[in-house]
Amino acid sequence: MKKILFIAVFMTAALASAQIEYRGVVKDSIGTPLEMANVIAIDTIAKRIASYGFTDSKGNFKLELKANTAYNIKISYIGFKEISANIKTKTSNTTASYAMFEDNMLSGIEIISKMPITISGDTIIYNADSFKNGSERKLEDVLKKLPGVEINDAGQIEVEGKAVEKILIDGKEFFSGDTKLATQNIPSNAVDKIQVLRNYSNVSQLSSVQNNQDRVAINIKLKEGKKNFWFGDVTLGAGNSADVGLYLLQPKLFYYTPKYTLNVIGDVNNIGDVVLSRNDLRTFGGSFRSQSPSNGTNLNIADGGIGFLTANARNANKIETKLSAFNYSYSPNKKLDLSGFLIWSSNNNGQKSNNTINYNDVDAEDDFVQNSTDQTSNTGLFRFSTVYKKDFNNQLNYDVTGRFSNEFREDAVNSKVLGIISEKEGATPYKINQNLSYFYTLGEKSIFALEVQHLLQDEDPFYVASLENNPANNDALENDGFDDAAETLGLDRSNEFYNLEQDRKVKSNQLDAKLDYYYILNKKSNLNFVAGTILSRQNFDSRFFQLLDNGAEFDPTPAISGIEDPLTTNDTEYHFTDLYAGLRYRVKTGIFTFTPGFTMHSYKTNNTQNGGLEYLEGKFTQLLPEFEVIAQFKRSESLTMSYKQEVNFIDVNKIARGIVANRYNSFFAGNFDLKNASFHNVALRYSSYNLFNASNVFARVSYRKTIAQVVNNFNFIRNSVVSTSTVLNSPEDNETFSAFGRFGKTIKKIKMSIGGSFNYNKNYRFRGAGGIENKIYNQSYNTSIGTNFTKAPNVSLRYKVSFTNQQDASLPVDIKSIVHAPSINFDAYVWDALTITSDFSFNEVRQGGSVQNAYKIWDAKLAYRKDRDAKWEYELVGSNLLATGSRASVSQSNISFNINETFILPRFVSLRVRYQL
């Protein structure tokens, strides 16, 4: 051991002695330091980049070079003549000073393009090949290796802690809706440059009058050999598992020219590879933010669909996926861009779970529920977009997005309290969203921005539940678990089954329109006048009834505590109007940008129910202030503080006061007289991307205080797990505080990061007239370290631990849980032919000091291709190789504490063949 340690120390000392630091400073001709200048050292013998770096805010740079070696030092900065100097290092550290002179010609483009990272204004440019080792197959594999770029647990791309809004391919939108389609399908070998566009604005006229520091997009530059030709790959696979034969077909074809593009993605498999989940599809195409600032009104149109469970390889025991996606763009001339997509997706999946439920309410019995679910979702999506730029002063945008679905779900439930239950749900919803915007620059000082959005949404969920009943023991002490609930709901208890049915139809029609006028006072300040309206109309019709054993329909007569005169039908029409006008002032002074403002709103609501017999109208005005200040310390370092007051309105689902069966154990009635809630939001954000020392820091702290929060008022039917609830405006203020931070650093080929988050939520659980305080504390910490070699195997280690502590005023003790989740990833490309990847993770759930569940997941892949340019590749892919049967998760709310064991896909082994165009 001592010999090994001596050799390691000796080698480290020898390596250190062979390296020297070449430090310097770069300034302009009058002595002003130049920040973010590119500095590279080219080995004059090997003819390759030996080291590279960037200057900091004081113009300093440092390079690690070999001793006694000749180098050519090249320094470039946009607008300045390139410096080229030959040096020869000695055995000691060296310093130098350089002065750059202005030049209108851009030089050194060929050399600089080979640098792993370059900076051009607000754009960070990564040379993709500098971060590849040959094991990458898709864009996501490359993005994970870039410093400052993260792929979060939801599959979203984050840059400096900010979610990437969209991905462009050579400046053209790629399926404008969800970045995962790009990251999961664009082949890595087609990627030349990855351009991170910070302070992103797709309307150039507004970039100088808005604060876009939180907006980020990515543009992928394709390699020259991929243009004007079809490229992509087709993968065909088959395999075996314990229960079923496996199949996979994934064609991914792309065609790019300066004038038009075509993208075709197909996917048919039963191995759990879900590119777009149902949740992804329901938000696809509608996640981008408006160009104009938010006006302070939140009107949330709720999802009235069925209770569809999200399925992936780690929470389902059966998944069958079919996806067809077509995306196009066409530019007949420089002024007009046409684009759009068509997507059809079909997902059929099954889930099995064991759920241990500990209720906080004294009237509710703790339960153990076994659930088996089979669900199918068929969804069609389309989008057509037009961008017309007559000239720099005129831009017209229009797009229409539609979604049509057919969904069905069946559940077989075994409850310790309620017995055997069967459930069925179905829906055929659709949604059409149109957006029209026009941007006009009138002279040097005036810019107009008109935005109009229209939403048409129709949802028709239908729910059926059947529970066993013994009519002979309805009034006995040991009656059936649902008997007391049936009496409260006014059901006929003389049947052998409680067959419950719920029919709903919710139609929403909403128009948002606003006009922004920007008046530019000077180069550092401008005024923004805004005026607009929100017009919303919703119709809610429903009927809750019982189907008797003889097939007749029975209308119950509920007598529910806490719900006055409960109805079993809804005939509700809800109108909402918001007329507003506001003013914002934006000014830059030194490193600071101040943006104070306010909007004045006039609100009006009309609520008609019970066939027009009940009518309620509300009117009020409110001033909503806002303030933001940005401190831009350096080009890549900023601190932002913001305050905003908002008004939150609920939709018709919360005010329709007829009984709605959410599930067999949850019955809800809205509140006819519900008021709006008000938010006070304060946030502080810090970000730093330092290429001088290859580090990045991001931190965010936010606080929200909610006045008159809309909360559920629960009542559990005694000795049961069946709850009845309505909603009310909480007399107590709710509070939420969150903090998040992440630090990352790259040292040569080692990439490290450490981060953590803290969330505090204080709310109130209402049971009858009384409010019960509930506090939940969540802490999470994670760290990772990994290599990024281009000619050697890479290893990445990650560890995440999270703590949850719930303090409920009605409980004698706090509820505490801990989750440990270490993982290790390995990938290697050896002999220019063989790719080996491995992904192992361990998860342990502890509650009350004891282990509730622990599971291990191991996935691996072995792939062979003759060389990097080979057309054919053969893969042996293994998923869940340890044959883990289930996984557990812990969830806590102000109603219950749950430990949910979910059965997952078994061990899958498949052989795949990929052909590359």
Quickly state the pLDDT bin for 104 (edges 50, 70, 90): low
Cβ neighbours around 665 below 10 Å, total:
26
Q: Residue 453: its pLDDT value, please?
A: 92
Pairing type for strands 592-609 and 908-916 reads: unpaired
Least confident of 405-414, 472-481, 695-704, 757-766: 472-481
pLDDT in tens, 762-805: 988 887 667 888 889 999 999 999 988 878 899 999 999 999 99
Residue 422 has pLDDT above 70, yes or no: yes
pLDDT number for residue 305: 65
Q: Which uninterrupted H or E stretch holds 560?
A: none
pLDDT score of 290: 43
Q: Are 276 and 379 in contact (CB under 8 A)?
A: no
The average pLDDT across 576-598 equals 94
Give the pLDDT band (50/70/90) at residue 386: very high
Which of 201-215, 235-249, 292-306 is predicted least confidently?
292-306
The residues facing 835 across adjacent strands are 829, 863
How far apart, in whole angstroms, are the C-alpha atoms of residue 573 and residue 655?
10
Confidence check: pLDDT of 57 > 70: yes
* pLDDT for residue 109: 42
Q: What is the pLDDT of residue 113?
A: 44
Per-residue confidence at 284, pLDDT binned at 50, 70, 90? low
pLDDT interval class at 7 (50, 70, 90): very low
| Dist. CA 528–CA 533, nearest whole Å | 17
Alpha-carbon gap, residue 97 to 24, rounded angstroms: 5
Polymer length in residues for the chain: 917
**536 and 302 Cβ atoms separated by less than 8 Å:** no
Element (H, E) at 162: strand 162-169
pLDDT top residue among 279 and 492: 492
- Tokens 């990024």 sit at which residue? 788
Range with the lowest mean pLDDT among 190-194, 543-547, 591-595, 746-750?
Answer: 746-750
User: Which sign, positive or negative, has the C-alpha torsion 138, 142, 145, 148?
Assistant: negative
879 C-beta neighbours (distance < 10 Å), count = 24
What is the Cα–Cα distance from 632 to 211, expressed in whole angstroms? 12
Going by the DSSP 8-state scheme, the letter that residue 366 receives in this structure is: P
Task: Answer for the pair 388, 631: CB distance below 8 angstroms, yes or no.
Answer: no
The confidence score (pLDDT) of residue 917 equals 85
Q: Can you give the pLDDT at residue 563?
A: 80
Report the pLDDT averaged over residues 731-757. Answer: 90
HSE, side-chain direction, 13 A CA sphere, residue 615: 3
* 369-379: average pLDDT: 92
pLDDT at 282: 67
Mean pLDDT of the chain: 86
Question: Any idea of the CA torsion for 822, 186, 192, 50, to the nearest 10 degrees?
Answer: 20
- Asked if 771 and 763 count as a contact pair (C-beta separation under 8 A), the reply is no
Quote the CA–CA distance of 662 and 659 in Å, as a whole number.
9
Which percentage of the chain shows pLDDT scores above 90? 42
pLDDT band at residue 831 under the 50/70/90 scheme: confident
The neighbouring-strand residues paired with 53 are 39
CA distance 894 to 764: 8
Query: Cα–Cα distance between 241 and 856 in angstroms, integer?
Result: 18
Q: Give the angle 684-688-694 at the CA atoms, nearest 5°.
A: 155
pLDDT mean over 18-37: 86
At 552 the pLDDT is 93
pLDDT bracket for residue 502 (50, 70, 90): very high
Q: What angle do CA 781, 782, 785 make, to 5 degrees?
A: 155
Q: State the pLDDT at residue 107.
A: 44
- Report the C-alpha gap between 240 and 242 in whole angstroms: 7
Task: Return the minimum-mean-pLDDT range out of 311-320, 502-511, 855-864.
Answer: 311-320
**Structural tokens at position 384:** 């057509």
What average pLDDT score do residues 32-51 get? 85
| Percent of the chain at pLDDT exceeding 70 | 94
Residue 904 · residue 885 · CB < 8 Å: yes
The mean pLDDT of 108-120, rounded to a whole number, is 61
Position 111 pLDDT exceeds 70: no
Under DSSP, the state recorded for 259 is: S
Closest CA to 717 of 895, 888, 499, 487: 487
Query: In terms of DSSP bridges, do strands 19-28 and 94-100 run parallel, antiparallel, or are they unpaired?
Result: parallel
pLDDT at 441: 92
Q: Is the pLDDT of residue 41 over 50?
A: yes
Q: What is the DSSP letter of 365?
A: P
The predicted structure's pLDDT at residue 637 = 86
pLDDT above 70 (res 217): yes
Instruction: Give me the mean pLDDT over the 220-229 stretch.
Output: 84
CA torsion 5-8-12-14 (nearest 10°) is: 110
Q: Note the pTM of the prediction, 2 decimals.
A: 0.85
* 106 has pLDDT over 80: no
Query: Are the C-beta atoms of residues 653 and 669 closer than 8 Å to each other?
Result: no
* pLDDT higher than 60, residue 810: yes
Spatial separation of the C-alpha atoms in residues 900 and 170, rounded to whole Å: 45
